[in-house]
């Protein structure tokens, strides 16, 4: 963080970029921003007018039941229509929607018209399986075109998709399936990752074994070249390619109501139980469309590439919905950035002449570590705009990105947002906002941020708050309206949205994100609740208690350190450590493995019994310990410190 508070460099977009941008110059941004706050309804109605509606709205914003806000009530629309049919109807059917590239090097170009036909076919398959509006469908697929097709087919008929990132474990699938009573799972036999096939279907089988609600499992065949062991259960499982062969490629888009549920996406919070974040139709549609258009300055000739997985919100909004609504061509890549070698991403940029590139700080730091020689011979001159998302980017990584990838002439949009916000909230507009390395800068249109203390007073550094509703906002937590209110709206008495991040404002009014203020951490851009790991560890019969903290990590941004107290007399050795890691793999997924597990005889607690995580972080970071006077037993930290340095 120190390097961030001393960062004073400022980079203005070049004159050419400014001249051609949708939002051109700081003054243009300021004027439109003011308008968006003064008359949000007019602002959002104007944006919505650029899209297709079966019926227009009666009201733009209904806040009568806050925090259950409603947007564009009375309208009827369909996201898949706006992503596909609209472009075909307006003569853009032959344009490439997706240049897809598999990890082994296989590739497919899919036009908007083809994508529409595929989506219609699969939507018809869903119908023949009895899927109706409102039914929940889990999608557990690698980054293949069928993932986008499945998502859009759900949207087309009003089924609610719940995409589960294909790195999650069988237990995670089960939790999500049961929480939302999913009646179908769409998966693949496998998916490529670093030259190996992940056996996805087997994970699904294990996950849904006891889920009576799942009636159908549809399986996309990815392992043609490398056959995967994929047992099919009669009466429940069917092959995607066989089903789509038998149905029509026409399927009219269902007229959806504004607040009809579009999707669920589970994300981590401060308890052990992930929350099913709810996004609905019309507001999300407009917000994903407009943020994509302005933040990525999308133009008809752009070749856009976002390296995220559709399993996260970034992929939902900035691979599928926002980007396709804008009708541009994008690259979709299945695999790892270092397969077959560390130059793969730059080879793809060069091959497809990518103009806009959106990735995560953790990836940028990995590239820096792998070395600049991977850029040799790769022509990156097609790039005109770069973006980052997922966590704060350290200025060193920002400068490397700016220089080595952007050739010092591409603006960088550092976009702060969340699963809950649906789309960008704080971000530079590339043709308008001078950028600073490591800074998410200014609010998007209609977004009114504030930095507050616990009492709700404005302070230069404190807790980030969002003062006004915005169309892309979450509408709830599935099945738990009380948790929705408690988590996001109780901090300042129901007045403002509480995102859970700390922030400060600098002399130019720019906002710098300082990281989470709750027990949520971002490991390599993956959001993990420390309580999720803790609740896994204590399931082990030899474990009495555990506390997990996040500490700075060179590549991942944050690394996880687990303190585990073992029951008196039980062995604490590498064997137990392996068992605990195995439990994390099984309950959450390999990406949530802690970097270190430290066995401790006790944990530092206040006299009221609360674990002092701040002290654990200090110990893990090897720092001077802060105030220990409130500890019930001060000797505990000394022992821990000693154990930590010796381990
Ligand atoms: C949390 C949300 C947004 C899609 C990916 C993550 C952190 C995200 C930034 C950024 C600083 C960031 C925040 C936020 N975060 N982007 N540009 N600068 N922090 O979505 O899994 O819902 O996580 O990611 O802490 O609260 P998510």
Give the closest residue to 163 by CA, choosing from 183, 185, 145: 185
Residue 199 confidence (pLDDT): 93
Which pLDDT band holds residue 1 (cuts at 50, 70, 90)? very low
Instruction: Report the alpha-carbon distance of residue 31 to residue 182 in Å, rounded.
Output: 46
DSSP string covering 299-353: -TT-EEEE-S-TTSHHHIIIIIIHHHHTT-EEEEE-S-TTSSSTTHHHHHHHHHT
Average of per-residue pLDDT across 567-578: 92
Ligand 1, atom 27, lies closest to the CA of 418
Average of per-residue pLDDT across 545-573: 93
Ligand 1, atom 21, lies closest to the CA of 527
From ligand 1's centre to the CA of 458, what distance in Å?
22
- Strands 96-101 and 329-333, bridge-based pairing: parallel
**Is 411 in a helix, a strand, or coil?**
coil
Average of per-residue pLDDT across 515-526: 91
Residue 535 confidence (pLDDT): 93
Ligand 1, atom 12, lies closest to the CA of 391
The DSSP call for residue 426 is B
**Count of C-beta atoms within a 10 Å radius of residue 151:** 28
Share of residues in the chain with pLDDT > 90 (%) = 89
Task: Answer yes or no: is pLDDT of 53 > 90.
Answer: yes
Residue 103 confidence (pLDDT): 96
Q: In a mutational test of the pocket of ligand 1, which residue from 275, 415, 504, 513 has the highest number of ligand atoms less than 8 Å from its CB?
A: 513
- Strands 520-523 and 511-516, bridge-based pairing: unpaired
Ligand 1, atom 2, lies closest to the CA of 418
Quickly tell me which residue has 């082994």 as its tokens. Answer: 104
Ligand 1, atom 13, lies closest to the CA of 391
Residue 589 region, left (φ>0) first, then alpha (ψ -120 to 50), else beta?
Answer: left
Token reading at 368: 């820096």
Task: Answer yes or no: is pLDDT of 341 > 80.
Answer: yes
For the chain, the structural domain boundaries read 524-646
Tens digit of each residue's pLDDT (9 = 90 or more) over 463-495? 999 999 999 999 999 999 999 999 999 999 999
pTM for the predicted model, two decimal places: 0.95
Average of per-residue pLDDT across 301-326: 98
Tens digit of each residue's pLDDT (9 = 90 or more) over 231-242? 999 999 999 999
Task: Specify the ligand 1 atom closest to the Cα of 527.
Answer: 21
Describe the chain by its helix, strand, coil percentages, rounded to 5: 35, 25, 45
Which pLDDT band holds residue 3 (cuts at 50, 70, 90)? low
From ligand 1's centre to the CA of 391, what distance in Å?
5
Instruction: Report the alpha-carbon distance of residue 150 to residue 322 in Å, rounded.
Output: 16
Task: Say if residue 455 is preceded by a cis peptide, omega within 30 of 0.
Answer: no
Residue 495 confidence (pLDDT): 94
From ligand 1's centre to the CA of 241, what distance in Å?
36
Instruction: Report the alpha-carbon distance of residue 370 to residue 338 in Å, rounded.
Output: 9
Task: Answer yes or no: is pLDDT of 15 > 50.
Answer: yes
From ligand 1's centre to the CA of 643, what distance in Å?
33
Q: In terms of pLDDT, which residue wins out, 623 or 47?
A: 47
From ligand 1's centre to the CA of 144, what distance in Å?
25
**Is 143 in a helix, a strand, or coil?**
coil
Residue 4 confidence (pLDDT): 65
Task: Specify the ligand 1 atom closest to the Cα of 426.
Answer: 17
Residue 318 confidence (pLDDT): 98
The DSSP call for residue 248 is -
CATH superfamily of 524-646: ANL, C-terminal domain (3.30.300.30)
From ligand 1's centre to the CA of 369, what distance in Å?
23
Share of residues in the chain with pLDDT > 70 (%) = 99
Residues in CB range of 250: below 8 A, 6 or more apart: 120
Tens digit of each residue's pLDDT (9 = 90 or more) over 172-193? 999 999 999 999 999 999 999 9
Residues in CB range of 266: below 8 A, 6 or more apart: 162, 164, 175, 176, 179, 274, 275, 276, 277
Ligand 1, atom 23, lies closest to the CA of 418
Instruction: Report the alpha-carbon distance of residue 294 to residue 323 in Å, rounded.
Output: 11
Residue 20 confidence (pLDDT): 97
**Count of C-beta atoms within a 10 Å radius of residue 257:** 18
Quickly tell me which residue has 């790991």 as its tokens. Answer: 533
User: To the nearest whole number, what is the mean pLDDT of the chain?
Assistant: 95
From ligand 1's centre to the CA of 81, what distance in Å?
29
**Count of C-beta atoms within a 10 Å radius of residue 238:** 17
Task: Specify the ligand 1 atom closest to the Cα of 522.
Answer: 24
From ligand 1's centre to the CA of 213, what distance in Å?
33
Instruction: Report the alpha-carbon distance of residue 607 to residue 354 in Å, rounded.
Output: 58
CA distances to 33, 35, 102, 410, 445 from 39, in Å: 10, 6, 46, 33, 11
Average of per-residue pLDDT across 602-609: 87
Ligand 1, atom 8, lies closest to the CA of 390
Task: Specify the ligand 1 atom closest to the Cα of 499.
Answer: 26
From ligand 1's centre to the CA of 329, what distance in Å?
26
Q: At how many degrees (to 10) do helices 281-295 and 40-48 cross?
A: 80
Which pLDDT band holds residue 636 (cuts at 50, 70, 90)? confident
From ligand 1's centre to the CA of 316, what distance in Å?
14
- Ligand 1 site: residues with CB under 6 angstroms? 267, 312-314, 389-392, 414-419, 440, 499-501, 513, 516, 522, 527
Task: Specify the ligand 1 atom closest to the Cα of 419.
Answer: 22
Instruction: Report the alpha-carbon distance of residue 466 to residue 426 in Å, rounded.
Output: 11
Task: Specify the ligand 1 atom closest to the Cα of 420.
Answer: 22
From ligand 1's centre to the CA of 416, what distance in Å?
6
């Amino acid at each position: 963080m120190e390097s961030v508070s001393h960062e004073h460099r400022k980079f203005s977009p070049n004159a050419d970029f400014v001249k051609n941008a949708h939002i051109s110059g700081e003054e243009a941004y300021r004027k439109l921003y003011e308008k968006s706050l003064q008359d949000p309804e007019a602002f959002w109605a104007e944006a919505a007018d650029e899209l297709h509606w079966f019926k227009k709205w009666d009201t733009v914003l209904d806040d009568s039941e806050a925090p259950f806000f409603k947007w564009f009530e009375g309208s009827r629309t369909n996201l898949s229509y706006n992503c596909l049919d609209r472009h075909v109807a307006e003569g853009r059917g032959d344009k490439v929607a997706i240049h897809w590239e598999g990890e082994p090097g296989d590739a497919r170009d899919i036009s908007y018209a083809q994508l529409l036909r595929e989506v219609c076919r699969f939507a018809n398959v869903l119908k023949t399986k009895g899927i109706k509006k409102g039914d929940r469908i889990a999608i557990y697929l690698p980054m293949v075109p069928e993932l986008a097709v499945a998502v859009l087919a759900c949207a087309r008929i009003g089924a609610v998709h719940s995409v589960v990132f294909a790195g999650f474990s069988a237990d995670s699938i089960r939790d999500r399936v049961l929480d939302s009573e999913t009646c179908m799972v769409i998966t693949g036999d496998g998916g490529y990752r670093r030259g190996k096939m992940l056996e996805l279907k087997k994970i699904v089988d294990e996950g849904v074994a006891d889920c009576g609600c799942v009636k159908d499992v549809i399986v996309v065949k990815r392992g043609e070249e490398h056959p995967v062991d994929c047992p099919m259960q009669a009466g429940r499982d069917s092959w995607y390619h066989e089903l789509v062969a038998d149905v029509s490629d026409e399927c009219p888009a269902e007229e959806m109501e504004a607040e009809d549920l579009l999707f669920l996406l589970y994300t981590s919070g401060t308890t052990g139980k992930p929350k099913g974040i709810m996004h609905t139709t019309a507001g999300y549609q407009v917000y994903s469309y407009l943020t994509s258009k302005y933040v990525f300055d999308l133009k008809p000739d752009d070749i856009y590439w976002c390296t995220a997985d559709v399993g996260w919100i970034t992929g939902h909004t900035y691979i599928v919905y926002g980007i396709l609504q804008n009708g541009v061509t994008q690259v979709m890549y299945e695999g790892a950035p270092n397969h077959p070698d560390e130059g793969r991403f730059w080879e793809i940029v060069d091959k497809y002449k990518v103009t806009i590139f959106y990735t995560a700080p953790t990836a940028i730091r990995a590239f820096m570590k792998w070395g600049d020689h991977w850029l040799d011979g790769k022509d990156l001159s097609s790039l005109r705009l770069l973006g980052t998302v997922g966590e704060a980017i350290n200025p060193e990584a920002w400068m490397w990105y700016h220089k080595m990838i952007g050739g010092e002439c591409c603006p960088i949009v550092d976009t702060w947002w969340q699963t809950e916000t649906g789309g960008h909230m704080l971000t530079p507009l590339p043709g308008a906002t001078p950028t600073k390395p490591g800074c998410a800068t200014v609010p998007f249109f209609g977004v009114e941020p504030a930095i507050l203390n616990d009492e709700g007073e404005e302070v230069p550094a404190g807790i980030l708050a969002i003062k006004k509703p915005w169309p892309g906002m979450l509408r709830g937590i599935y099945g738990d309206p009380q948790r929705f209110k408690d988590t996001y709206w109780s901090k300042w008495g129901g007045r403002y949205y509480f995102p859970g991040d700390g922030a400060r404002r600098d002399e130019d009014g720019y906002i710098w994100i300082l990281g989470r203020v709750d027990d949520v951490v971002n490991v390599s851009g993956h959001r993990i609740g420390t309580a999720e790991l803790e609740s896994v560890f204590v399931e082990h019969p030899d474990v009495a208690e555990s506390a997990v903290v996040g500490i700075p990590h060179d590549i991942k941004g944050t690394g996880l350190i687990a303190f585990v107290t073992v029951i008196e007399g039980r062995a604490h050795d590498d064997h137990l450590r392996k068992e605990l890691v195995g439990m994390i793999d099984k309950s959450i997924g390999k990406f949530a493995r802690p970097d270190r597990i430290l066995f401790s005889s006790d944990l530092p607690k206040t006299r009221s019994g609360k674990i002092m995580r701040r002290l654990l972080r200090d110990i893990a970071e090897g720092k001077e310990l802060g105030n220990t006077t409130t500890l019930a037993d001060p000797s505990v930290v000394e022992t821990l410190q000693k154990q930590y340095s010796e381990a």
